[in-house]
Amino acid sequence: MEDEEHRLALEWAQALLKRSDWVILDTETTGLGPKDEIIQIAIIDPQGRVLLDTLIRPSQPISPAASAIHGIMDSDVLSAPTYKEIRSQIEECLMGKTLVIYNADYDVRLLMQTHARYNLGPILIKPRQIECAMLKYSAWRGELWPDGSYKWQKLPGGDHTALGDCRATLKLIKTMAGESI
């Protein structure tokens, strides 16, 4: 079963790299909780071109624990645009694309939370498909917990900036596909 899951993850990465209808997204946030919001977002295309890379001014302070991880302080976002101000840019980058995210459940949750926080009505971010690169990578690595599920893996080369983690995710996909970097 492990070999089969590895092969499927490899094939996923190879098939993805043959397409151009996808983007990679990453965020940094005020914290991990149900009321936290995005303070940095980056989106790149399959060639690594930056489609969006910006800080976002939140409506609440950044938690010290979050700042300790990503290094973004409240003073860094004082003059940044709000989520409401860049919402349309995000939607334009994502519309009709397959969205690849390392730990997709987390980033999608934070996108939804941030959108809801500003009472913007129904979210218009409707990518055709959302792919979790972390789950694919975990299967590709094949390390199992005692219960037989795959161990989640840290993002190799990630630097806890939205753009840096997007680039690390693209490099990881290429590695999984067997491409020389």
User: Is there a domain that residue 58 lies in?
Assistant: yes
Instruction: State how many domains the chain has.
Output: 1
**What pLDDT, in 10s, does the model give residues 125-135?**
666 789 999 99
Q: What DSSP designation does 181 have?
A: -
User: Is there a domain that residue 19 lies in?
Assistant: yes
- % pLDDT > 90, the chain: 79
Q: Which residue has the higher pLDDT, 40 or 1?
A: 40
**What pLDDT, in 10s, does the model give residues 75-116?**
999 999 999 999 999 989 998 899 999 999 999 999 989 998
Domain of 51 in residue numbering reads as 2-176
User: Is there a domain that residue 73 lies in?
Assistant: yes
User: Is there a domain that residue 112 lies in?
Assistant: yes
Distance CA 107, CA 28 (A): 9
User: Is there a domain that residue 151 lies in?
Assistant: yes
Q: What is the CATH classification number for the domain harbouring 50?
A: 3.30.420.10
User: Is there a domain that residue 116 lies in?
Assistant: yes
Q: Give the bridge partners for 131, in sequence order.
A: 100
pLDDT band at 179 (very low <50, low <70, confident <90, very high): confident
**What pLDDT, in 10s, does the model give residues 117-168?**
988 876 666 667 899 999 999 999 988 888 888 898 999 999 999 999 999 9
Distance CA 99, CA 108 (A): 10
